[in-house]
Amino acid sequence: MTTLTPGAAPVAPDPSDQTRAMLAGSDRRRRVTDRVATGLVVTAFLIALVPLVSVSWTVVSNGFERLSPYFLSVSMRGVFGGMDAGGIYHAIVGTLLITTVAALISVPIGLLAAIYLVEYGRGRLARWVTFFVDVMTGIPSIVAGLFAYAFFAVLFGPGVRFGVVGSVALSVLMIPVVVRSCEEMLRLVPNELREAAYALGVPKWLVVIKVVLRTAVAGLGTGIMLAVARVIGETAPLLITVGVIDSINFNVFEGRMMSLPVYVYRQYSQGLVPCAPGAADCIATINYDRAWAAALTLIIIVMLLNLVGRLITRFFAPKTLR
Amino acid sequence: MAKRIDVKDLNIYYGDFLAVAEVGMAVEPRSVTAFIGPSGCGKSTFLRTLNRMHEVIPGARVEGTVAMDGVDLYGDGVDPVAVRRNVGMVFQRPNPFPTMSIAENVLAGVRLNNRKISKGDANDLVESALQGANLWKEVKDRLARPGSSLSGGQQQRLCIARAIAVKPQVLLMDEPCSALDPISTLAIEDLIAELKNDYTIVIVTHNMQQAARVSDRTAFFNIAGTGMPGRLIEVGPTGTMFSAPTQRATEDYISGRFG
């Protein structure tokens, strides 16, 4: 309010000048605070970007060279030393099969639990379910692996290792994520839609299936995709439950399987190859190269899954004005 | 296609809380009955007991009888789902299903119940229901567009079309115009005047002019204070209610002295 010039004082104050002074609001403090806050937000964002960009760059630059159709289409069978050979076909097969079976186990259980919590659950049981889902969220993945191993060891004897054991371990990690995200999505469905359907004489189970699930399907798809992305990179539980193998195995009910994260771990842990001096066809860093290329493949698979999830979302999203 | 409803000694509870007490009144067939009264007096709650929609809220229950042509809606062997098929409802805010087109919204009562319907019958039903809701002319060229692409007033008429497509005996309307502009309101009021030839209509409204314009009978509800149950103060022909109410509270409310 100090913008009135001294010269204007004797004359009768112009009302529009007064209004202008009133509206000018030259609040220095606020502007400074605004700048500082904006600066902090942008800085925080940039700092958050650093690891993301750094990881992406490292994986792409280290893994891109080895990634080839050959690398994607062969296993490690008969590959040894520093041979310029071997690939991740068996690990891709294992990862996709184990994760698919894990999703087949987790999605029905998780989705039904979420429906129970949102549409039916009242009182003590619902509170207990919520509590245990929260507890399950915090289970370390190695514990989930031990649980699945111990469970199957009781049934099949010690030393049991096959794909489904790994899928069960991943399900233990995946179910709480599915329950949580699906619950959020179902709660977002406006109550008015449920009431509209009830008022048309639609029984509750059909309201749940045809209105609630249908309206939320896009969000549910995204939630499930995120849950898959959460477990597809798990290493420790698969190391325990599914083991390690160099050849291709399509049977999730029998025999060990390789998966991409375990492959990465195994290749990296083998370290440098001691190549004989002058030996042809021996690459000292071959294990590291394969690990990076497999890591890159895993990231690409997760990205593709996200892309598919987004397409599903777009396809099923409630129709709006376009 | 229109039934009368007799309500006797109805108490409505939410858990232990008595929300509406001792309501007794008759809803005449082929006429419009309006419920008026201040906010929170239990008009909507009472309306919802007429098709058992209040049971969607956990803990809600009633004592007393709501009889449609002598059959108690809360009697043994009465299925709330069947009640709602015969007593349709239109809500305060238009709520078309966002995942469905205009035509699918009208057919929702059939499709959501997994009932089979031939394409010809479906088209006829869509046209007759939309005609009945005075919406056909406006939307007949864009039946496949999403229901949410319509204006608020059109959406509300779509919801009315959806409600009458299941051919109910009674149609309940919970403040159907309170989210609409005056022109859309007029369209809905004209529609109500037409619909009462075929249906028994009960409408909750905060707009007393609207009650005076559209209804044949008016019921006035009031509440003595917060925490007290809402009560039916007076019910009678709309003309009498607005010109010569017997109760002091009704007169005060109608003349704008409170509420």
Residue B118 within any structural domain of the chain: no
- Mean pLDDT within B183-203: 88
Domain count across chain B: 1
Q: Does A215 touch chain B (CB under 8 A)?
A: yes
Contacts of A320 in chain B (CB under 8 A): 98, 146, 148-149
Residue B149 within any structural domain of the chain: no
Ramachandran category for residue A273: left, alpha or beta (phi over 0 → left; psi -120 to 50 → alpha): beta
The partner residue sitting opposite B84, judged by closest CB among A122, A199, A215, is A199
Who contacts A20 (Cβ-Cβ below 8 Å, separation ≥6)? A3
Q: Which CATH superfamily is domain A79-316 in?
A: MetI-like (1.10.3720.10)
Ramachandran category for residue B172: left, alpha or beta (phi over 0 → left; psi -120 to 50 → alpha): beta
* CA–CA separation, B86 and B224 (whole Å): 34
- Tracing tokens 């917060």 back to the chain, one arrives at B226
Cross-chain Cβ contact B112/A200 below 8 Å? yes
Residue B103 within any structural domain of the chain: no
Among A202, A215, A315, the residue to mutate for chain B (most B Cβ within 10 A): A202
Residue B53 within any structural domain of the chain: yes
Does the pLDDT of residue B136 top 50, yes or no?
A: yes
Q: Does B58 touch chain A (CB under 8 A)?
A: yes
A and B: number of Cβ contacts within 8 A: 90
| Tens-digit pLDDT profile for residues A55-86 | 999 999 999 988 999 999 999 888 888 888 88
- Tracing tokens 């001096």 back to the chain, one arrives at A277
- Mean pLDDT within A213-230: 89
The partner residue sitting opposite A210, judged by closest CB among B112, B146, B148, is B112
Does the pLDDT of residue A113 top 60, yes or no?
A: yes
Q: Which of A157-171, A190-204, A272-286 has the lowest mean pLDDT?
A: A272-286
Which of the given ranges, A7-16, A276-285, B101-110, has the highest pLDDT on average? Answer: B101-110
- Mean pLDDT within B225-241: 87
The partner residue sitting opposite B98, judged by closest CB among A197, A200, A319, is A319
Q: Give the structural domain span for B9.
A: 5-93+170-254
Would you say A129 and A117 are in contact if contact means Cβ atoms under 8 Å apart? Answer: yes
The partner residue sitting opposite B95, judged by closest CB among A192, A210, A320, is A192
- Mean pLDDT within A135-147: 93
- CATH classification of the domain holding B239: 3.40.50.300
Distance from the Cα of A137 to chain B's closest Cα (Å) equals: 29
Element (H, E) at B57: none
pLDDT for residue A164: 93
Among B99, B105, B170, the residue to mutate for chain A (most A Cβ within 10 A): B99
Question: What does the longest C-alpha to C-alpha distance in chain B come to?
Answer: 57
Among A319, A320, A321, A322, the residue to mutate for chain B (most B Cβ within 10 A): A319
Cross-chain Cβ contact A318/B99 below 8 Å? yes
Domain ranges of chain A: 79-316
Residue B158 within any structural domain of the chain: no
Residue B19 within any structural domain of the chain: yes
**Percent of residues, chain B, with pLDDT higher than 70:** 99
Question: What does the longest C-alpha to C-alpha distance in chain A come to?
Answer: 102
Among A117, A200, A202, A217, the residue to mutate for chain B (most B Cβ within 10 A): A200
Does the pLDDT of residue A322 top 50, yes or no?
A: no
pLDDT for residue A172: 95
Would you say A97 and A254 are in contact if contact means Cβ atoms under 8 Å apart? Answer: no
pLDDT for residue A128: 93
Number of H helices, E strands in chain B: 11, 10
Distance from the Cα of A177 to chain B's closest Cα (Å) equals: 26
Cross-chain Cβ contact B91/A214 below 8 Å? no
Look up the ipTM and state it. 0.88
The partner residue sitting opposite A196, judged by closest CB among B86, B91, B146, is B91
Residue A123 pLDDT level (bands cut at 50, 70, 90): confident
